[in-house]
Amino acid sequence: MSSIDEKIARAQAAQSARPIFKDVTVSLDSQLADERAALLQQLGVLNQERQALVDAAKGTLTLAPDTAAMDKEANAVAAKIKKIDRLEQDSLVTIRVYRLKGDQWIDTVAGHPARGNSAIDRGVGYNVNTLTVAVLVTHGRIIDGDKEVTRTLDEWAVLTGLLAGGDFVRIVNAVFEINVLDAQKRTESLKNSFEAATASAKK
């Protein structure tokens, strides 16, 4: 069993060599993102309706259902999605979020108390909007080719203000996952493995 000093030394070396981060690619054209989301939903509905027709005809003596009109509409929607994808490519930005140290995370959370009227805030224990932008200022980077670019608070506020709701939520989730959820999962997994090994050793 390693001593506490050995564990600390290994952890420091690992964090220095491999800082933990998550990358999130978002679109700065929220209108295109919203249009794409709506089209994807429409395509999903069409596919479900088509599958329902096909499933209903199975096991019967009726001819296969005529899905030509549905297929034509679905193809048209898919073509629109591809067109938006091409337009959206030029608006994509990759944001890299690094994990905070434990004391930094606690101090940051303390500075952004949860809003009482927000179920999301109450669930995580902090104001997800202001904390996320604060984390981006200190631990967020824009990936520009092979460079990582920092931004000021005002610049991050402008950038996040351009995002569709879904894209901003993905950044919110990345901040929560890398600073809270991943650590919880890792600790639980190690605990389960340790308990399993201990139980096996006692047999």
Write out pLDDT tens, residues 141-150. Answer: 999 999 999 9
Q: Average pLDDT for residues 26-49, to the nearest whole number?
A: 90
d(C-alpha 159, C-alpha 133), whole Å: 10
Amino acid, single-letter form, for residue 134: A
- The string of pLDDT tens digits covering residues 120-155 is 999 999 999 999 999 999 999 999 999 999 999 999
Among 165, 172, 167, CA closest to 25? 167
Least confident of 73-82, 108-117, 156-165, 188-197: 188-197
- Tokens (6 digits) for 165: 């709701």
Least confident of 29-33, 114-118, 171-175: 29-33
d(C-alpha 141, C-alpha 110), whole Å: 23
For the chain, how are helix, strand and coil distributed in percent, rounded to 5? 70, 10, 20
- The percent of residues above 90 in pLDDT, for the chain, comes to 60
Give the count of beta carbons closer than 10 Å to the beta carbon of residue 85.
Answer: 11
54 in Cβ contact with 66 (< 8 Å): no
Output the average pLDDT for the chain. 86
Whether the model pTM is above 0.75 = no
Give the count of beta carbons closer than 10 Å to the beta carbon of residue 143.
Answer: 14
φ/ψ of 26, rounded to 5, equals -130, 165
Among 165, 2, 180, CA closest to 97? 180
The rounded Cα 95 to chain-centroid distance in angstroms is 11
